[in-house]
Amino acid sequence: MRIIVREAVLEDAPLIANLTRKAWAGKCPPTSRGHRDTWVNVNEDLHAGGAFILLVDDIPAGSLRWAPLDEDENVWKIRRLGVIPAFCGQNLSQHLIEAVIHHAQLCEIAELRLFLHRYLEPLTSLYEAYGFELAPEIEFSTRDTLDLPPIMMRKTLES
């Protein structure tokens, strides 16, 4: 199995939207925004931050996006990490996590943040293995107030 993680370009927006919708199918509640991802949303994310695409034997298998916080460009939020069902259970998401950590370090970013919906709580141990810590003091500003607050995590990067 040959695994490649490459940085996305604007022309990848439709592919990334498709990967996200496939990764969310059957895993996330129907209210999750990932189910409604479009190339337009992805294009906006690519302009604001960036994305990585995971390829397994040249087949697109997953993606991850990041963007700087509005209030602090030295902090990136990780968004829409997902691997499509055909490639789940092979620990492939770690390649995307490692790629964004490495890229953030090269860009001298101070901190990475992410949130997990409560149904994804078992994934906290995956992120903790990469140095992320629970950060309940961080507010998630765009959440649906009918949902439980998400689990917030952060990783401080050394400069």
Only one residue has tokens 């370009």, namely: 9
pLDDT at res. 30? 59
Domain count, the chain: 1
Three-state DSSP string of 14-80: HHHHHHHHHHHCCCCCCCCHHHHCCHHHHHHHHHHCEEEEEEECCEEEEEEEEEECCCCCCEEEEEE
| pLDDT in the model for residue 8 | 97
* pTM, two decimal places: 0.89
Q: pLDDT, tens digit, for every residue of 106-140?
A: 999 999 999 888 777 888 888 999 999 999 888 76
pLDDT above 60 for 144:
no
Look up the CATH number of the domain holding residue 128: 3.40.630.30
Q: Which domain holds residue 52?
A: 3-156
The mean-pLDDT minimum among 86-95, 96-105, 133-142 falls in 133-142
